[in-house]
């Protein structure tokens, strides 16, 4: 049986999904800090400022990338599955070789 090709969209989904998780968690922390502004001495971390200023934009872009990569992964898996089904069907309709043994 032929092996399905590797799907490059899975790597994109993993990396962007991880970034999305971190961004959502940082956004939640930013909201909680807004409710209780007991600021840390020495100022805020640059990532905190980034999430405060661009958190919504980051989340929207990450969701868009996740959606596109999900559709891409499903499409690649579908195309690979159809190719395997066609190959399997072609092998089943082929006549046996001269020795009488079928190929696996």
φ, ψ dihedrals at 53, nearest 5°:
-85, -35
pLDDT of 12-62, one tens digit each?
999 999 999 999 999 888 888 777 766 555 567 788 888 888 989 999 999
Average pLDDT for 64-82: 94
pTM passes above 0.85: no
Task: Determine what percent of the chain is predicted with pLDDT higher than 90.
Answer: 39
Give the single-character DSSP code of 78.
Answer: H
State yes or no: pLDDT of 101 exceeds 60: no
In the chain, domain spans: 9-36+46-93
């Amino acid at each position: 049986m032929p092996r399905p090709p590797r799907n490059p969209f899975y790597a994109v989904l993993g990396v962007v999904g991880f970034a999305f998780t971190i961004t959502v968690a940082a956004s939640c922390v930013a909201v909680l800090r807004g409710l209780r502004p007991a600021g840390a001495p020495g100022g805020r971390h640059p990532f905190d400022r980034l999430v405060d200023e661009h958190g919504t934009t980051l989340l929207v872009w990450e969701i868009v990338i996740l959606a596109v990569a999900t559709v891409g992964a499903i499409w690649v898996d579908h195309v690979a599955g159809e190719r395997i089904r066609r190959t399997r069907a072609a092998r089943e309709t082929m006549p046996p070789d001269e020795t009488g043994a079928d190929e696996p």
